[in-house]
Chain A
Amino acid sequence: MTALSALIRRDIRIALRVGGGALIGVLFFLTVVVLMPFAVGPDLALLSRLGPAILWLGALLASLLTLDRLFMADHEDGSLDLITMSRTPLELACAAKALAHWLAAGLPLIVATPVLGLLLNLDMVATGAVALTLLAGTPALTFTGMIGAALAVTLHRGGLLMAVLVLPLSIPVLIFGVAASQAVIVGPMTFGAPFSILCALSLVSLVVGPFAAAASLRHGLD
């Protein structure tokens, strides 16, 4: 337990320091959402209808933006060698790294959502629904994206390319995340069904992600 909490604390600390990735994601999210009303035009009804989709797309791209570096930095400076050799199972170490990434880069996106909801003419309830679905859905994005990050290390190819290759895995998350938010705003579906599936997707990826990433890292030892 000490080992895992040390790893989480270290990764968060690095992400929050100058040059860390935590702020980059939020700034990107902010930029996408702020620019959107200018692109769509001053149609308030249209904006609030598109709002959840825009927020979800922005959050998805922002969380992918920094994810490709998840293992690459540790690989480049040799930390990954020591993590692989250590007494902590690699699966748990992967899970800890993904959790740290979500805390440092994913959580700020959710905190920023209420502010950005104002720009998209979303009311309190709608913004709350989007924030809640993001809270339930972004762990799935991080934990499936982690597989791509591990593959990027193993295959010695561009990180973003691999992130794009695992992008299909995040499509269900996007679909049910937006569906649950829309259900609150326009109906006629119930909120519960898509939201439950969203939670299920997150729980599945919490389990599958670390094993897949660790298997990929082990396979690519060199």
Chain B
Amino acid sequence: MRLSGHGLRCVRGGREVFAGLEFAAASGQAVAVTGRNGSGKTSLLRLIAGLLVPAAGTIALDGGDAELTVPEQCHYLGHRDALKPALSVAENLVFWADFLGGERSDAAESLAKVGLDHATHLPAGFLSAGQRRRLSLARLLTVRRPVWLLDEPTNALDVAGQDMFGSLMREHLAAGGLIVAATHAPLGIESRELRIGGVA
């Protein structure tokens, strides 16, 4: 499987964010997107996720499921965590598993992996920022998608959480997945760097 973008140009609010951007990642590879604030890291992830329309260029996923579009084969972990404060931890996770569909693994197991198994019945509104991030990570584990698009994934995670996340990413890559992550901090796994807009 190979995710690639050619000649990507992104315009937001009438301003060109980047142009002529090329990238490629194969199964088992991670790409760390770096660049100063406002250079278009998040925009690139949202282009791949189909949440922004490129002004020029194409994005292709070779070797994926031909029946599905690229966004349908991606997980997007953005700044906003898509959790409902009124629902419990388990309800939030099970909803996304049911809604996103496809191949899935046990929700309780995923919660144990991210260290939230003691809080399954707690409303998500009571979680700390780090716990919310962990719950979002549990979504990536429960629903299987080959491509992970991660925007500042280690934000709010403590040191143990970052280690845990590193091993989850290594597992995903070993299983043939691929990762595109926008990040300032080191990702914690072996990755290729894609720098947008000059020196950070």
Selected from B91, B96, B101, the residue in CB contact (under 8 A) with A2 is: B101
Q: In whole angstroms, how far apart are the Cα atoms of A19 and B85 in the complex?
A: 10
Q: Place the interface of chain B in its size category.
A: 20 to 34
Selected from A6, A17, A222, the residue in CB contact (under 8 A) with B95 is: A6
The closest CB in chain B to the CB of A5 belongs to B98
Nearest 5 A/B pairs, CB to CB:
A78-B80, A6-B98, A78-B82, A17-B86, A85-B71
Q: Is the Cβ of A81 less than 8 Å from the Cβ of B99?
A: no
Most chain A CB neighbours (cut-off 10 Å) among B52, B99, B101: B99
**Minimum distance in angstroms from B184 CB to a CB of chain A:** 20
Selected from B78, B83, B100, the residue in CB contact (under 8 A) with A86 is: B100
**Minimum distance in angstroms from A77 CB to a CB of chain B:** 5
Most chain A CB neighbours (cut-off 10 Å) among B12, B50, B79, B82: B82
Q: Is the Cβ of B71 less than 8 Å from the Cβ of A77?
A: no
Residues of A contacting B76 in the complex (Cβ-Cβ under 8 angstroms): 81-82, 85
Given A77-B82, A86-B100, 12 other A-B contacts at CB below 8 A?
A: A5-B98, A6-B99, A14-B84, A18-B86, A19-B86, A20-B86, A78-B79, A78-B82, A79-B82, A79-B84, A81-B78, A86-B72
**Minimum distance in angstroms from A65 CB to a CB of chain B:** 19
Most chain B CB neighbours (cut-off 10 Å) among A5, A19, A79, A82: A82
Q: Can you pick out 6 interface pairs between chain A and chain B where the beta carbons lie within 8 Å of each other? A: A3-B101, A10-B84, A77-B84, A78-B81, A85-B74, A86-B99
Q: B68 an interface residue at 8 Å Cβ cutoff?
A: yes
Interface residues of A in 39-87 (CB under 8 A from B): 76-79, 81-87
Selected from B12, B51, B74, B81, the residue in CB contact (under 8 A) with A77 is: B81
Residues of A within 8 A of B (CB): 2-3, 5-7, 9-10, 13-14, 17-20, 76-79, 81-88, 221-222
Contact with A along B4-24 (1 / 0, CB 8 A): 000000001000000000000
Looking at chain A's contact residues, the main secondary structure is: helix
The closest CB in chain A to the CB of B139 belongs to A82
Q: B102 an interface residue at 8 Å Cβ cutoff?
A: yes
**Minimum distance in angstroms from A42 CB to a CB of chain B:** 43
Residues of B contacting A14 in the complex (Cβ-Cβ under 8 angstroms): 84, 86-87
Q: B49 an interface residue at 8 Å Cβ cutoff?
A: yes
Q: Is the Cβ of B72 less than 8 Å from the Cβ of A10?
A: no
Residues of B within 8 A of A (CB): 12, 49-53, 68, 71-72, 74, 76, 78-84, 86-87, 91, 95-96, 98-102
Residues of B contacting A19 in the complex (Cβ-Cβ under 8 angstroms): 86
**Minimum distance in angstroms from A102 CB to a CB of chain B:** 19
**Minimum distance in angstroms from A2 CB to a CB of chain B:** 5
Q: In whole angstroms, how far apart are the Cα atoms of A84 and B49 in the complex?
A: 9
The closest CB in chain B to the CB of A222 belongs to B52
**Minimum distance in angstroms from B72 CB to a CB of chain A:** 5
Q: In whole angstroms, how far apart are the Cα atoms of A87 and B87 in the complex?
A: 23
Q: Is the Cβ of B82 less than 8 Å from the Cβ of A88?
A: no
Residues of A contacting B102 in the complex (Cβ-Cβ under 8 angstroms): 87
Most chain B CB neighbours (cut-off 10 Å) among A2, A9, A79, A84: A79
Q: Is the Cβ of A2 less than 8 Å from the Cβ of B100?
A: no
Residues of A contacting B71 in the complex (Cβ-Cβ under 8 angstroms): 84-85
Q: In whole angstroms, how far apart are the Cα atoms of A49 and B68 in the complex?
A: 58
Q: In whole angstroms, how far apart are the Cα atoms of A135 and B144 in the complex?
A: 41
Residues of B contacting A77 in the complex (Cβ-Cβ under 8 angstroms): 80-84
**Minimum distance in angstroms from A24 CB to a CB of chain B:** 14
The closest CB in chain B to the CB of A82 belongs to B82
